[in-house]
Amino acid sequence: MAIDVCRDAGRTSSHGNCDSVPSVGRSLRASLAFTAALGLSGCLLFTDPINKAPTVTIYQPTDPVVRGIPAKFTARPDDDKDSQSSLQLEWAEFKAQPQGCGWITTATWDSRYKATTLDSFETYTLTAESVDRICVCARTTDHNGATGIGCSTAITPANAAPVARIVDVSGDPSGQQRPLCSPMHLSAETSDFLDGDQFNWSIQYTGSDPSAKQPQLASCSGIEAKKDTQHRCFYAGSPGTYKVTLTIIDTYAVNGVPTSLSSAPAIFDIPVDVDRPPCLQRTDPDVHAQRILLSRSTDLGGTYQSRTFKVLSVADDCEPYPLPVGSMNEPTQFVWSVLDSTRASATWTYQTNTSDAFTISQAQFPNARPGDTIRVRVEVRDTAVQKLYQAGGSVCAQDTVDICCGSAACGTPNDCVRWTSWTVQFQP
C-alpha cells in the first residue's frame, strides 16, 4: 500500500494535490507519514527552536527631569541568543499621548523621530526643551532581525525658574566702597539659567554731584559673543551709590503656547568714594632721599655733572601715573619748583617744566660755589587739586616742609605724599 506524505511535507503526490486525499484514515496516514518522512530526502522536519524577539528595559533617572537640564537614561536589552554587549540601542524621544507611552511599539515606531544609536552600556541624555509630556524609548535588533522596544513612563519635565546672581569680576562684594573713576565689570555667569534666556540689566545712580551723568551699562571688551548679555561694564565717574539690578526671563512653550518665567531680581550696590588727592609713590631719587651731591666731571674737561629727577609712579583714583591704556582722563600734572639758596632772597620758584622729569646742573646757577646747596621740589596735582589752587587754596599749610602729606603729618606707612623735596649740594 502506498503512503501519501505530501500533506505534511507540502508536496504533490501521484494522486494529485494533497487536498484531494480522502479524509478516511487520515489519522493513521498522518502517523505513518511522519515515520516515512524521516526517510524522504525531499521532505524536511524543522526541529530548531523559534527565534524570540529581544526585549528592552528602560531605567529612567530617579531625580525629576527638569527642562533644559540634561537627564541620563540607561537601558538593558535582553535576547535569547545575542549577548547584551553585542546589541546596540536606537534611542528616540516621542510626544506622549493621553494614554502615556504604551502606544509606541515596533509596529508604530515612527521613522520621523530622529534616533540616536548607542552601544548597550552607554547612557542616553535627554535635554527637554519644553514642559510637554515626553516618552523616551529604545529599540534593539538581534542578528536574526527580530526587534524589541522599551519605553519610559510618560515624563512631564519640571520647569525651574532662573536664579539671577551678580558678581564683580574683581572679587569685591556688593556694598564695598570703590575709588572714584573705577571701571566696573559685573558678571552674571554664576546665575542659574538656560541658553536663550533674556538678561535684563538696569542701573540707578544716587549722589550729591550736580554734574554727574546718568551711567550707562555697556558690553565688556574681551567677552565672547554668546556670553555678551551675561556681562555688563560701566565707569563710576561720580561719587555716590550705583545700584545695578538684573532679572533673567526664561521663555518656553507649554503645549505649543509661549509663556515665560522670571527670576527674582538680583541687586548689586556699589558705593563710590569722593575724589581723593594724588599720591607720589616712586621717584628717582627716592621720595625720602635727603641730599644729592653734584660735582664737576674731571674726565670731560671740568664740565658740570647733571642729575635728572624723575617721577616713576603716582597713585590716584582718576588720574594715576602712568595712565592705564585706554584711559580717557587727563594726565596727572607735575609741578617742579626750585629754591636757589645762592641768591640773596631765596624763594621757591615754579618752573615751566611740567613733565615727569627735571634736570639740574651747577651751570644753571652762576652764583653757586662748591658747598652751596639748592632745593628741588616736585608736586603732583590732579584736576581737583588744580581747582583748589585756582580758588586760592593750598595742599599744605606751610610751604617750608620738605615732604608734604596734606593736612596729616608724614611718618606712617599709609602716607599720601603730595610733594617731596631734595637738597642738592654742589661739590668741587
DSSP-assigned letters across all residues of 359-395 = EEEGGG-TT--TT-EEEEEEEEE-HHHHHHHHTT--S
CA 240 to chain centre: 29
Predicted pLDDT of residue 47 = 57
Task: Render pLDDT for 169-190 as a digit per residue (tens, 0 to 9).
Answer: 999 999 999 999 999 999 999 9
Whose grid coordinates read 511599539?
A: 105
DSSP-derived letter for residue 54 is P
Residue 291 has a CB neighbour count (10 Å cut-off) of 10
Does domain 55-151 fall into CATH 1.10.3210?
no
Cα separation, 77 vs 82, whole angstroms: 10
Biggest alpha carbon–alpha carbon distance for the chain: 161
The cell for 178 is 570703590
DSSP-derived letter for residue 410 is S
Cα separation, 219 vs 226, whole angstroms: 12
The cell for 12 is 504533490
List Cα–Cα distances, 7 to 29, 31, 43, 45, 167, in angstroms. 10, 12, 10, 13, 87
Predicted pLDDT of residue 355 = 93
Domain ranges, ordered by start, for the chain: 1-47, 55-151, 167-272, 279-426
The cell for 107 is 509596529
Cross-strand bridge partners of residue 233: 185, 218
pLDDT tens series, the chain, 428 aa: 343 333 333 333 333 433 333 333 334 344 444 444 444 444 455 556 788 999 999 999 999 999 989 999 999 999 998 999 999 999 999 999 999 999 998 888 877 778 999 999 999 999 998 889 999 999 999 999 999 999 999 999 998 899 999 999 999 999 999 999 999 999 999 999 998 899 999 999 999 887 788 889 999 999 999 999 999 999 999 999 999 999 999 988 887 788 899 999 999 999 999 999 999 999 999 999 989 998 865 555 567 788 999 999 999 999 999 988 878 788 889 999 999 988 888 889 999 999 999 999 888 888 888 889 999 999 999 999 999 989 988 888 777 889 999 887 888 888 999 999 999 998 87
Predicted pLDDT of residue 305 = 83
DSSP-derived letter for residue 7 is H
* Amino acid, res. 165: R
Cα separation, 175 vs 241, whole angstroms: 9
Predicted pLDDT of residue 262 = 95
Cα separation, 317 vs 172, whole angstroms: 17
Task: Render pLDDT for 118-157 as a digit per residue (tens, 0 to 9).
Answer: 999 999 999 998 889 999 999 999 999 999 999 999 999 9
Burial of 258 per CB tally in 10 Å (0-12, 13-18, 19+): exposed
Burial of 182 per CB tally in 10 Å (0-12, 13-18, 19+): buried
Cα separation, 62 vs 73, whole angstroms: 10
